[in-house]
Structure 1
């Protein structure tokens, strides 16, 4: 039933993406820029966009000055159409949530969905990247290159990126300073 509802809500049919796990390399030396952004690792990923949520304008929060867009993404088996079509995705409050019906839990790839999907907070490196981020749509397969970052905002608020892909819950989101983005052929 959930798969039927999800398929009916999509503007495009589910896409079967075969994408590898995101790659990162921790930096030996880090520095903080004038906005309080500290690069902690290089980052490169090809992912399927499951959902997106904008936090700009009236939907903004304090963090939206840095990351106006969150993406719920999948890679590996979670990006396969026969897997993600069994899962319902929602986003709110800087979190993403997924659920599947009882019959879907018979599939071990669905049970493992949370280890191959994530909610990413995207920080555009410049205005051109910000414009490209606005063009992303659900079911797009995109390549995102940049850095995982921690942020120490001038008001004293601290935002920390996850440094692993398999974590879940509060603090598990990646904060990515996006320097390049594009479609995957």
Structure 2
């Protein structure tokens, strides 16, 4: 067997194994952890206090925005879903609203919604401005509190904070501090407000936060997620290797 033929076969089997491991780990990496995985003493209702911060201006993508702080805000909770402003299906933030500071919406739960484990029987999803929670029956629905869930429009013009924010995944414990605020996009004269309370639902109930800090306190399924990422890359690289050596390997003789 030639060297190119050997490597062709090696990359072929490496691709098959990598694809199988990547598929299995991808399937399980977003399983919800048990409530015991979390430090429930740190998952209280968000802390909201008075602020003396004055309105300030920021800039993103050459556009000017004015941020008007309403309250200081400190939230620690469990991510259940998110929506990226630059996502493939999200045409609102960038194209229609010219909004380049609301970089991601993050939906979180806390308190009894985590302690009861009810989240494990539910489905969560996010679109351009809403977090959706669905339960399979009335019993699960009765155990879940919409007042211990918030959809957060995260606003920042800081690239380091944005990079941290984009690493958060469902099941992760996150903490951010900043101000509940409204902001005006001067390019189109649009102002987005914020809810001042956790005891509302429906349209207008989302929190808009200009963040000063953002941290992932605890990752969910860190081993499986690292495994999935590693084998995703191995699958891609082994496929490329197989194609390269398939093309350069000498043709097999026909009899």
TM interval, shorter chain, is 0.7 to 0.9
Of 45, 48, 54 in structure 1, the residue corresponding to residue 78 of structure 2 is: 48
Q: Aligned-pair RMSD on alpha carbons? A: 2.2
Structure with higher helix content: 2
Is there any run of 5+ residues in structure 2 with no aligned partner, and where? Answer: 1-25, 59-64, 219-255
Is 1:12 matched with 2:30? yes
Residue 124 of structure 2 is matched in structure 1 by: 89
1:73 maps to which residue?
Answer: 108
Please identify the structure whose Cα radius of gyration is greater. 2
Gaps of 5+ in 1: 1-7
Trace 1:131-170 onto structure 2 (pairs within 5 A).
131-154=163-186, 155-170=188-203
Q: With structure 1 as the length reference, what TM-score do the two structures score?
A: 0.84
The Cα shift of 1:29 comes to 5.3
Equivalent runs, 1:25-44 vs 2, <5 Å: 25-28=49-52, 30-34=54-58, 35-44=65-74
Change (3 A) 1:52 1:156: same
User: For residues 127 and 52 of structure 1, what CA distance do their matches in structure 2 show?
Assistant: 19
**Most deviating of 79-88 and 93-102:** 79-88
Deviates more, 1:11-20 or 1:42-51: 11-20
In the TM superposition, what whole-angstrom CA distance separates every residue of 1:139-165 from its partner, at most 9, and x where no partner exists?
100111111110122021110011101
Greater shift in the superposed pair: 26-35 or 70-79: 26-35
- Is contact 1:43–1:146 with CA below 8 Å preserved after alignment? yes
Structure with the higher strand share, 1 or 2: 1
Matched residue SS, 1:33: strand
Highest relative contact order (Cα 8 Å, sep 6+), 1 or 2?
Answer: 2
Provide closer, same or farther for how the CA distance between residues 172 and 11 of structure 1 changes in structure 2, counting only shifts above 3 A: same
Aligned residues: 175
